[in-house]
A and B are shown apart, each in its own frame.
Chain A
Amino acid sequence: DAGVIQSPRHEVTEMGQEVTLRCKPISGHNSLFWYRQTMMRGLELLIYFNNNVPIDDSGMPEDRFSAKMPNASFSTLKIQPSEPRDSAVYFCASSLGAGGGELFFGEGSRLTVL
């Protein structure tokens, strides 16, 4: 069975460039999460969607970050313009329902901003 699929796996870009990360959740899962992981801050929730609707975007660092979920099988996280401090691993995760703790993570997108 296909798990959560993220692309690209690795992205190296220069400061000021636009970055778009993509995610395909597990079919049938109605909750989707975008997390960021760094050594300093660990895993941080950026945004949570339920049934394609953004429920909580309080973790989005600033206006440079935006996320969309146009349908149940696709989500994007965009950073524009990117900065070196955005360098991190970005994980997308999905789950069946919102109240449990069983999240299925994608393999992550490792972003390096020079």
Chain B
Amino acid sequence: RKEVEQDPGPFNVPEGATVAFNCTYSNSASQSFFWYRQDCRKEPKLLMSVYSSGNEDGRFTAQLNRASQYISLLIRDSKLSDSATYLCVVNPDSNYQLIWGAGTKLIIKP
């Protein structure tokens, strides 16, 4: 089993819809979690950190479920510009070692 697993997609979603995807992790002691966004042929960029209580940033909501060992990302009122690959990142020990998921590709269609 991979340490961090994501559905590779692609998720094809009409503009304005709500989309959610999950990421599962294997190390139950993992400390911190992040979502990065990577546009086609670009570098990854931090989208948001994922806190135990969940957090929201505009149209984006991230949740952590420690019992089931997954994190989720919800995008409301999706825009064409949300089309990207979303990378789930887990930091097991709060040091430099980040475990990267392979990414979920999202395509927003007009």
Question: A residues touching B (Cβ–Cβ < 8 Å)?
Answer: 31, 33, 42-43, 45, 48, 50, 55-56, 91, 98-103, 105-108
CB contacts (< 8 Å) of A45 on chain B: these are 97-98
In the bound complex, residues from chain B placing their C-beta under 8 Å from that of A31 are 96
Q: In the complex, what residues of B have CB within 8 A of residue A91's CB?
A: 43-44
When chains A and B are docked, how far (Å) is the Cα of A55 from the Cα of B102?
Answer: 25
A-B contacts, 15 of them at CB < 8 A, read A42-B101, A42-B103, A43-B100, A50-B96, A55-B96, A98-B95, A99-B91, A99-B94, A99-B96, A102-B34, A102-B49, A103-B44, A103-B98, A105-B43, A106-B43
Chain B's interface size range is 20 to 34
The smallest beta-carbon distance between A23 and chain B, in angstroms, is 12
Q: Is the CB of A108 within 8 A of B43?
A: yes
